[in-house]
């Protein structure tokens, strides 16, 4: 009986219903003390975050579109400048070919006219020698006339006038010949420079071909090619200017030679 009483004193392993209810109420009270954030503030925070994300995405999208448009404009402008450069090259080739043909033709004509002018100058020197011989004959005739007939003063006066006119003509002829020789020397120098310019036309053609290849291959910048094209245009204009200068010099030389020929034909009636 004593053992039975000892077993009844062992506490039960299952808690009492009151203890369970008290424990639940305590847990529920602790859970209510934790304050949850208001539902409206959480929703506003999510709305702000999504708005910034949309703004960032739209900004990046417009940035990409703007960059693409600017790149397209730059590419179109580069193509336009390339086409303009090709057109200028074609125009320069045409002008270069025209200048080369004119320069070669002018060079041939200049050489022929220079040879003709040299021959005319030789003829003028021969006429000068003839005039000198005629002058010596006149002086001899004057001396003989003075010895033979001292009374023919009028004839002597006429002969002296003719002699003075012939002497002045010889002086003018020598002066004109010297001027013609100077003009001819200047013309020869200009012709030599023109020949050098004509020889440089081949280099200009090769430069134009290299510029065309650079444009087609895209190895060079448009600004550099424009500078080279402007230099070639200036070279062609310089060649044309020297060609015009040579033509003017030859024209002046031709007028001077014609004047000398007219002056040299005067003593024929003496």
Cβ pair 183, 256 in contact under 8 A = yes
pTM: 0.38
Burial label, 246 (beta-carbon count in 10 A; 0-12, 13-18, 19+): buried
pLDDT score of 268? 46
Cβ pair 121, 181 in contact under 8 A = yes
Q: Please, what is the Cα angle at 195 between 244 and 184, to 5 degrees? A: 65
The dihedral formed by the CA atoms of 229, 243, 93 and 221, expressed in degrees to the nearest 10: -10
pLDDT score of 104? 74
Q: Which CATH class is domain 88-269?
A: mainly alpha
Residue in 177, 198, 174 with CA at minimum distance from that of residue 246 = 198
pLDDT score of 149? 60
pLDDT score of 34? 47
DSSP one-letter string for 30-85 = HHHHSPPPPHHHHHHHHHHHHHHHHHHHHHHHHHHHHHHHHHHHHHHHHHHHHHHH
Structure-block tokens of residue 106: 């002018």
pLDDT score of 111? 77
Per-residue pLDDT reduced to its tens digit, 82-122: 888 888 888 887 887 777 777 777 777 777 877 787 787 88
pLDDT score of 35? 46
CA distance from start to end of the chain: 195
Which residues does the chain have with pLDDT short of 70?
A: 1-21, 23-50, 145-156, 180, 187, 190-209, 211-229, 231-233, 242-243, 246, 253, 256-257, 260-261, 263-270
Structure-block tokens of residue 109: 């004509």
Cα–Cα distance, 54 to 39 (Å, whole number): 23
Cα–Cα distance, 80 to 88 (Å, whole number): 12
Q: Which residues contact 205 (CB under 8 A, 6 or more apart)?
A: 93, 96
């Amino acid at each position: 009986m004593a053992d039975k009483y000892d077993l009844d004193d062992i506490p039960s392993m299952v808690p009492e219903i009151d203890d369970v209810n008290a424990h639940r109420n305590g847990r529920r009270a602790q859970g209510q003390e934790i304050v949850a954030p208001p539902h409206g503030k959480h929703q506003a925070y999510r709305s702000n975050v999504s708005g910034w994300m949309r703004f960032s995405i739209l900004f990046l999208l417009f940035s990409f579109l703007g960059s693409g448009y600017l790149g397209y404009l730059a590419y179109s402008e580069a193509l336009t400048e390339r086409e303009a450069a090709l057109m200028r090259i074609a125009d320069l080739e045409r002008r270069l070919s025209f200048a080369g043909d004119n320069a070669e033709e002018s060079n041939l004509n200049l050489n022929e006219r220079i040879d003709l002018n040299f021959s005319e100058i030789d003829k003028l020197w021969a006429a000068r020698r003839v005039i000198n011989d005629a002058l010596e004959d006149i002086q001899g005739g004057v001396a003989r006339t003075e010895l033979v007939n001292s009374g023919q003063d009028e004839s002597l006066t006429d002969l002296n006038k003719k002699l003075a006119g012939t002497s002045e003509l010889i002086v003018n002829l020598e002066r004109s010949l010297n001027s013609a020789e100077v003009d001819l020397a200047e013309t020869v120098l200009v012709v030599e420079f023109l020949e050098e310019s004509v020889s440089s036309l081949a280099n200009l053609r090769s430069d134009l071909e290299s510029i065309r290849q650079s444009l087609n291959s895209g190895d060079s910048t448009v600004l550099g090619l424009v500078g080279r094209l402007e230099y070639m245009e200036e070279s062609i204009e310089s060649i044309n200017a020297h060609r015009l200068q040579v033509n003017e010099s030859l024209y002046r030389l031709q007028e001077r030679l014609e004047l000398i020929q007219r002056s040299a034909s005067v003593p024929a009636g003496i």
